[in-house]
Structure 1
Amino acid sequence: MSHTLNTLIATMEAEHWDAILVTDPKHVYYITGFACDPHERFLGIVLAKGQEPVLIVPALDADKAAAISSITRIATHLDTDNPYDILKQQLPDTIKTFGLEKAHMTVQRYESLQAVVQAEQYADIGAVLQSLRVIKSEEEIERLQAAVDCIETVLDNVVRRVRIGMTEAEVVADLEYEMKKQGAEGPSFSTMVLAGDNSALPHGVPGQRVIQAGDLLLFDLGVYLNGYASDITRTFAVGEISDELKEIYNTVLAANEAAIAAVRPGITYASLDQTARQVITDKGYGPYFSHRLGHGLGIDVHEYPSIHDQNEALLEPGHVFTIEPGVYVQGKGGVRIEDDVVVTKEGVRVLTSYPKQLTIIG
């Protein structure tokens, strides 16, 4: 039985809960190794006192679940079934407290659940899952490294094909085609390629903007590979750029490198954000760094922790997150440089290795 499953069962017993239901497909994968997109269909892991764990899956996924899942007791439902009736069959007759993922529970699902379960109260298991996910195992770190290696190969291959006159959307299409060629399951978020003044939009949307000489060209992209995400940002110069844009680039690079150098167990996430932000502020660009320093990375591309100047949580070995300072000057351009890092006992391991010196393309 997996460590996560054992921890959930131990929590259920310690808190005197009668049962637990895990429904987020990513958590089902995390616990069982079985990956499934059930769409609107019901998917869940049921834990109940004194009973063997059971995985409930749509009937059309039964064979795959049986072949892959670490939970061997599997129940299925057809499209014509009420899956909550199937769920009730796996539960005690009387439930006082039922643990579930409140963040994944819509009102509609809750009403369907309560109609058959009629628990007296519901407890949130989100914090337990979060505490387990934040410490990555060596196997998880290697999967993250593979996802990083994949996206860096994608970026390197496509950057070589970028030319003046191409649109942002054309480059995005090439990147996502290359992701599939390199074996990725798909992008880990909406691929971002922003040229010129569009690069000053931290969450801009690629479109028909044509790449021109003198532009900054920002790439923010990642893939899912074997269920784990990568996330990298690099900013390039298209031909010769202004001295001001060069200064912005070097400022962001210095902030990125200062934050990475500061990573070690025992410091706060707040101090890490402040380290990078101070470098940017000292150069006069403080107001133009408008977002947090980074975010956790794992089976979700954005997960706990959030790296901002109010987070007093301490870094621990096994934490994996991004470091991505940026400066965005409207009407001129923006620079973001993002790396994926792991906290180690000694300090830091940087998963990303794509060069960060200012590179001219096009």
Structure 2
Amino acid sequence: MYEDLDPLMERYGIDALLTCGSAFDNPSVYWLTGFRSTDEIIYLKNRGDAPLVAASFLALERVVKESFITHTHDFTDVVLKILHENKKVNDNMDQIYGSLLRAQFSGKILGVPDEFPASLLVMLQKMGYTVKVVRDLVLEARARKSVKEIKTIKKAGDATTGAIMQVVEMVKNSTIGANKVLMHKGNPLTVGMIKLALEHFLLDRGAESSEDAIVAVGSKAFDWHYLGAQGDRFKGGAPVIMDVFPRLKLERYVADVTRTVVRGPVPRRVQKMFDAVAAAAEASVDALTDGTLIDKVNLACVNTLKQHGFDSRRLNPDAKDGMTHGLGHGIGLEVHELPSMYSREEPFLEGHVMAIEPGVYLKSVGGVRIENDYAVTKGRARRLTTGIDDILFV
């Protein structure tokens, strides 16, 4: 949350936060300003003061109209002076930053995030400024979401679950043909067909599908990184993992939902995997409260899987099957952000939003994974990805 910035700046020991870039290249710039543009801007926030944006006057007109920033610094005159001297602006950034900092910064230590250009950091040091890299400061502030952000992520979740349900109908309406291949309108049902349908549905609802969306068929899903090849065919009785994480085109926030669908008779081993993963998902959410250690929730998940006969790398680092990935990840403007689900010491906090995704994987079968998005609100986990069953046998 924005309210966390000043306490974090004090904790990190900086007097001001400085960063730069565009909203489309740098999610933190968008989060800090609310300015959705390809324009390059400079952001400066002195501790305890309202932030400001520095840019040329054309960009500043849009900043004032389209962002929540109310304080600005116009460096148009500096740019014109550089150009008048037949010099390149990029070679004279010291003049631009110098004009900004002389006018707006009176502290001692500037903090910059780790994505801040190294050339600019060195330039600031040569100009005599003390610069400290505060790697996770903005990411930590972004970790706790506002009510508005949570509503926006739910909007992304609604688009995602709707897209998955549409393609599940395609699977449901298919027939099982020769060699158990699913046939849809006379053609083999393929990963390419499903991904195209997902993309079209999401675009109609103002979201764009990631190129890394996963549609993994049968035993190939044992490798949970496997995206799925366009020509991979769906087969009856084989679990298919669909992991979809689109971004809202306007608001820029993401959701992340995974379902495993099976068409036709469900093999006993696959049923056992589903039962274990569904129970682990329930145990995880039941344990998730404001102030609960993240690792306690992790253990609730893997201990439940163990009770159902499945291994995990949390309990056995050498595990070759079972749950071979983490419990999940924070989500927001990026599909992977804080809080980290690998933490052994950090707790969940009010405003955290995360994807919880227990899964088990067996080499001869593939995988089963269920993923939903949750927000910690009023002390408890509230599910944001609704309107879809966890178990999809069709």
**Would you say the 8 A contact 2:125–2:131 is kept in 1?**
no
- Kept in 2, the 8 Å contact 1:46–1:55? The answer is yes
Give me the identity figure in percent. Answer: 26
Distance in 1 (alpha carbons) for counterparts of 2:275 and 2:48: 60
Aligned to 1:227: 252
What amino acid maps onto 2:153 in structure 1? L
The alignment status of 1:250 with 2:275, answered yes or no, reads yes
Question: For 1:315, what is the secondary structure of its paired residue?
Answer: coil
Q: Deviation at 1:81?
A: 2.2
Whole-Å Cα distance in 1 between the matches of residues 49 and 292 of structure 2?
A: 42
Task: Give the AA of the match of 2:20.
Answer: T
Structure 1 distance, partners of 2:3, 2:284, is 35
2:179 is aligned to none
Distance 1:317 1:50 in 2: 23
The Cα shift of 1:337 comes to: 0.3
Asked whether the 8 Å contact 2:161–2:388 carries over to 1, the reply is no
The separation in 1 between residues aligned to 2:247 and 2:75, in whole angstroms, is 27
Question: Could you list the runs of 5+ residues in structure 2 that have no partner in the other structure?
Answer: 175-181, 183-187, 312-318
Structure 1 residue 273 corresponds to structure 2 residue 270: no
Call closer, same or farther: CA 1:337–1:109 in 2, change over 3 Å. Answer: farther
Matches within 5 A, 1:1-362: 4=2, 7-8=5-6, 11=9, 15=13, 17=15, 19-23=16-20, 25-37=26-38, 42-47=40-45, 53-57=51-55, 61=59, 63-72=61-70, 73-75=72-74, 81-82=89-90, 84=93, 85-92=95-102, 96-102=108-114, 104-111=115-122, 113-114=124-125, 117-119=127-129, 121-162=130-171, 163=174, 164=182, 165-184=188-207, 186-187=208-209, 190-207=212-229, 208-225=231-248, 226-286=251-311, 287=319, 288-308=322-342, 310-361=343-394
Cα distance in 1 for residues equivalent to 2:166 and 2:11: 52
Deviation at 1:248, TM superposition (A): 0.7
The AA in structure 1 aligned to 2:219 is D
Shift of 1:325: 0.6
8 Å Cα contact 1:234/1:338 also seen in 2: yes
| Distance in 1 between residues matched to 2:238 and 2:11, nearest whole Å | 59
Distance change >3 Å, CA 335–CA 60, structure 1 → 2: farther
Greater Cα shift, 328-337 or 27-36:
27-36
* d(CA) in 2 for partners of 1:180, 1:147: 12
Question: What displacement does 1:273 show?
Answer: 0.4
Q: In 2 relative to 1, CA 272–49 (structure 1 residues): closer, same or farther, beyond 3 Å? A: closer
8 A Cα contact 2:5 2:138, kept in partner: no
Deviations 1:228-278 (A, max 9, x none): 211111100022231101111111111011111111122210010000101
Report the CA distance between 1:291 and its aligned residue.
1.1
Aligned residues: 350
Judging changes above 3 Å, is the alpha-carbon distance between structure 1 residues 213 and 52 closer, same or farther for their aligned structure 2 residues? closer
Cα distance in structure 1, aligned partners of 2:14 and 2:297: 39
**TM-score, with structure 2 as normaliser:** 0.79
Distance 2:143 2:337 in 1: 8
Flag the 1:344–1:12 CA change in 2: closer, same or farther, 3 A.
closer
Give the root-mean-square deviation of aligned CA atoms: 3.1
- Distance change (3 Å), C-alpha of 1:51 and 1:356: closer
CA distance in 1, matches of 2:158, 2:49: 42
Q: Which amino acid aligns with 1:145?
A: K
The answer to whether the 8 A contact 2:259-2:390 is kept is: no
TM-score w.r.t. length of structure 1:
0.85
8 Å contact kept, 2:264–2:393: yes
